[in-house]
């Protein structure tokens, strides 16, 4: 198998991050710098940043975390990083991103291949959000963003939007793409300011009653449906 896949399966990091490590020439196979075409064979010695890669017995971990505002979706050792916030005993990684000013559901796992399948924007997986604005939601605004708008030369895909019943400033939006700060930029384009942005669902995984800064393991049924949607 290719070396980036082997690194991901070892539990060291995701396959995408492994690809970056290879690009940065931080991976050696039998003493030679690995390339993206290098293949791992039984008995090969793999080193990352000068340390031998030790393959752990793989026990898959899949959790849902209700990220508070202020937590950063990074594995870098900086203040407020999501790994320190979760404090999981296994080495896990966030699936995709949720910006610092937003809160809500984010998945974390040690299964590198799953990270890439879920986070890849080309897959078109649904992500659902609840958005609170500074002003009442106009019908025309919902109609235009649902059809897609231009954001600095890039057209957003059609999406599902609806006003939350009994409210004037809160709407629900379901996206199948993940442009950088997409919802905030869509709202800003119509002179709205986002007061609160909460993600409540990723594919079939819902936030449900999970409290802020708490996490839970995915249920067997959730995992079954998730894996079926990725196959």
* Fold agreement between 62-121+205-230 and 126-202: yes
- The larger pLDDT score, comparing residue 12 to residue 200, is at 200
Domain ranges for the chain: 3-52, 62-121+205-230, 126-202
Q: How does the average pLDDT of the chain come out, rounded?
A: 93
Residue 168 CA to residue 171 CA, distance in Å, equals 8
Assigned token pair, 14: 């995701």
Domain topology for 62-121+205-230? Alpha-Beta Plaits (3.30.70)
Whether residue 228 is predicted with pLDDT greater than 90 in this model: the reply is yes
Q: What is the pLDDT at residue 113?
A: 80
List the catalytic residue out of 99, 101, 116, 220: 99
- Locate 88 and state its tokens: 């999981």
Query: Could you name the CATH architecture of 3-52?
Result: Roll (3.10)
Query: Tell me: the pLDDT tens digits for 161-200?
Result: 999 999 999 999 999 988 889 999 999 999 999 999 999 9
- The pTM score is 0.78
Residue 9, pLDDT score: 80
Residue 48 or residue 121, greater confidence:
48
Query: What dotted CATH number matches 126-202?
Result: 3.30.70.1560
99 is catalytic: yes
Confidence of residue 57 (pLDDT cuts 50, 70, 90): confident
**What Cα–Cα distance (Å) separates residue 203 from each residue in 75, 82, 134?**
23, 21, 28
């Amino acid at each position: 198998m290719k070396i980036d896949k082997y690194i991901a399966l070892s539990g060291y990091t995701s396959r995408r991050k492994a690809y970056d490590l290879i690009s940065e020439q931080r991976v050696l196979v039998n003493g030679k710098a690995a390339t993206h075409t290098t293949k791992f064979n039984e008995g090969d010695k793999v080193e990352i940043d000068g340390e031998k890669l030790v393959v752990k017995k793989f026990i898959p971990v899949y959790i849902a975390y209700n990220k508070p505002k202020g937590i950063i979706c990074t594995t870098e050792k900086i203040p407020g990083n999501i790994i320190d916030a979760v404090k999981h005993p296994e080495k896990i990684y966030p699936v995709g991103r949720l910006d610092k000013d937003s809160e809500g559901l984010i998945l974390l796992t040690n299964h590198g291949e799953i990270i890439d399948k879920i986070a890849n924007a080309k897959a078109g997986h649904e992500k659902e959000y609840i958005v609170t604005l500074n002003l009442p939601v106009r019908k025309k605004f919902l109609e235009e963003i649902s059809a897609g708008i231009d954001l600095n030369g890039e057209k957003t895909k059609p999406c599902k939007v609806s006003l939350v019943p009994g409210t004037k400033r809160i709407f629900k939006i379901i996206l199948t793409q993940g442009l950088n700060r997409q919802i905030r930029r869509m709202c800003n384009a119509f002179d709205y300011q986002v007061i609160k942005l909460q993600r409540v669902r990723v594919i079939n995984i819902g936030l449900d009653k999970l409290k802020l800064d708490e996490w839970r393991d995915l249920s067997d049924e959730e995992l079954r449906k998730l894996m079926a949607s990725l196959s």
